[in-house]
Chain A
């Protein structure tokens, strides 16, 4: 397995092990962070989350689709500094509409079956984040970047 594959695999493993990520949006220069329950495709091209349409994060990303999501394995202990892995994804967010939603919902609910009522609420939007780059931090300060071909 080459180094690229190893990084790809490590990111996938982290994503499988984690349910929540921190989404960063902004509006008029003011950053805003929110927790989201995410699901990522195997090829790491897309991440998905669901949000009510009445939230700040939704209106922010509608105004500017550029977003980042931080996903990490820290456990609130001192060992986190050497053991935890953090990945920041940057990309563009867009609402998924129409018939495309159903197969994504199915995958999403496999990871978060308890969110069924939430996901299916007509007042919620399914958001796709098309990833441009990944920034993986390990061993406290070691940072590797993974850029996807657009």
Chain B
């Protein structure tokens, strides 16, 4: 078997062995283009590695955890993250390394290299898939190169690749990944050239930055851009930018730093160089007989081609789905920093102001017509903020992912989600609400008279001090009886809140998980200890950004909830009026304005449970063990409480397992009562998982049809280690035979 192949030895039939990128580079090198010193790790080496380490089957298990069609984007990211961690934690076995190390040592002894993906599916005649797989710049030393080879292999299973699995024919059995290792060319100006503009076939495009190309490729450094006429090769336009940063090599990896003043005033390329770059790219196009996307750099006066591949517009092309939007979530650190400023300084204060402005309006004083107008206005306002949520808040959540990847790269932890422990312990709005609720419950706990008054639902006799605090709570967080994000039911009295307070008062409640605080400091220290100087500052900044991202991922829902609550309270007012009008004078006396606006907002009928036994069927389906994602470690058993409607929350009893479609931040007040959390919506960074982790509760997410398959009262066991929910006892007899007690979170460590 050929393990490592030098570019100069690559033959016509080597495409599958060295992948599209390696093959194209070798052909260019052989035909007079200047390319860096390059070797390729054959794709078969990947196959050997995954076979010998057992990763091949582990990837299969991970990918077959559930049907891809039922996976949300976040779950796909989780899946890719877990697979990546498998590669990070499995060194290349000696039996394979002995074939690679001597060549790498002899060719690149002390030279820094780029380690690039080269998928065999990509070739000059077919499509290439820019941005799906990873490349790493400025890697030095044998150990580091070997580690980066694994990272490149792992990127065969990146979230982007998983999203486009059908287009690229991704399969565990067939797919493989070759790796290109090339000596770094420390170019002082770099860029990309599209021989054909994806938006206008009569044009070509050149983009260029000072320093290395990486900043341009990942969006950190904005490039100067030239549009050229494809036929005459004349420059049609130049779009200069405010040149502020450049990427330069450092000891290991690259760094972003301010561009020296002398360079910032001058475009990176002059007219002659633009012609040279474009002509060279066109020669590549002629050579491969298809328009090319060429990455290049100037080393002094010499133009070096780093890679050339066919142009694709995979992520923003013709498909009608939202995958392009998902890929746009991958934001750079600087991009996320400015997004944070926008969210913290503009959006959140604006959301709070909008909700407060609406709360000031006395709905009862409005005429029917004005109330209808107000409902419409609130609907539009809510709609606008839901849009902002998708455009700005969700992308900002990528801060957590960015940190997670850096953390896992550096620490290579056994638990892929260890990094979340570093992000927890923040002051989330929903936790603050739970603390206030617990304070109120504590007073009920110690005052039997108060408890009795709450049981009777008697407002008038309540202690004035308690009533005042209760009102403050309701003002700040709502009365808990409204499903403020997405629900349709509101209860008119405060009984649900009273019921929850009494339930909380009758059981000791564990505070949010404090056990990790000490470990958190250690983790932070260990993590930052991997960096020196400026890099350490940057790592600390990234952690700070991720914490803000983690906290906002939660708080934004609460703020959005406040706006939606205002919409719902106006709807509620309209419903009450219609009810009164119909009672007073029959159908004809109902306000047409109010009826119309409510009809326009109708959510439609509920769908039927597809698992229900149909008439005439002589069998029924009963779930026993359901597999989702392990989202909070631990195991517990309890009675299920399925939340179909927000009002179901008031029935929640201590020790029950919360089963819901998606844990809404506005329903987390029952989490301290729960012994476990099961959610239909999947992902490690969704609200339910975050809150369950805060309270140290076992949590399983991503169980399709969870709220249909599980019934309130079912006895269930939540295994948050493996992501399994088991229904029923142990089958044929005593439910406690496995050592699990009911309504209790069990710690199996050390058994």
Contact = CB atoms under 8 A, between A and B. Distances in A.
Interface residues of A, number: 26
Given A113-B53, A114-B58, A54 B751 contact: no
Contact of A62 (B53, B721, B726, B737): B737
Interface in B731-748: 731-734, 737-740, 747-748
A19 to B, nearest CB: 10
Interface in A55-104: 55-56, 58-60, 62-63, 97
A27 B733 contact: yes
A56 B635 contact: no
Interface string A106-126: 000100111011100111100
B731 A27 contact: yes
Interface string B357-397: 00000000000000000000000000000000000000000
A97 B748 CA distance: 11
B623 interface: no
Contacts of B254: none
Given A58-B738, A62-B738, A114-B58, A121 B722 contact: yes
A56 B719 CA distance: 15
Contact of A52 (B55, B60, B724): B724
A56 B730 CA distance: 5
Nearest to B716: A54
Given A62-B737, A114-B58, A54 B719 contact: yes
B57 interface: yes
Contacts of A53: 635, 738-740, 748
B53 A54 contact: no
Contact of B719 (A60, A97, A109, A123): A123
Nearest to A26: B732
B722 A118 contact: yes
B678 to A, nearest CB: 14
A48 B710 CA distance: 33
B717 interface: yes
Contacts of B54: 109, 112-114, 116
B621 interface: no
A28 interface: yes
Contacts of A55: 625, 726, 730
B732 A123 contact: no
A5 interface: no
A27 B738 CA distance: 13
B461 to A, nearest CB: 48
Interface string B30-74: 000000000000000000000001111110110000000000000
B730 A59 contact: yes
A30 interface: yes
B733 A114 contact: no
- Most A CB within 10 A of own CB, among B53, B56, B721: B721
A86 to B, nearest CB: 25
Given A28-B732, A58-B738, A123-B722, A117 B58 contact: yes
A63 B717 contact: no
B749 interface: yes
B726 A123 contact: no
B737 A59 contact: yes
Contacts of B732: 27-28, 30, 32, 56, 60
B515 to A, nearest CB: 16
A92 B747 CA distance: 27
A114 B722 contact: no
Given A27-B733, A59-B738, A114 B61 contact: yes
Given A62-B737, A62-B738, A113-B53, A54 B724 contact: yes
A114 B55 contact: yes
Contacts of B748: 53, 122-123
B703 to A, nearest CB: 15
A123 B635 CA distance: 7
Nearest to B630: A121
Nearest to A110: B54
A124 B739 CA distance: 12
Contacts of B738: 53-54, 58-59, 62
Contacts of A116: 54, 58
Interface of A: 27-28, 30, 32, 52-56, 58-60, 62-63, 97, 109, 112-114, 116-118, 121-124
6 contacts: A27-B731, A30-B732, A54-B717, A56-B730, A59-B730, A60-B732
Given A27-B731, A63-B734, A114-B56, 16 more contacts: A27-B732, A27-B733, A28-B733, A32-B732, A52-B719, A52-B724, A54-B726, A55-B625, A55-B726, A58-B730, A113-B57, A114-B55, A121-B722, A122-B748, A122-B751, A123-B724
Which A-B residue pairs are the 4 nearest by beta carbons? A113-B54, A59-B730, A114-B57, A122-B748
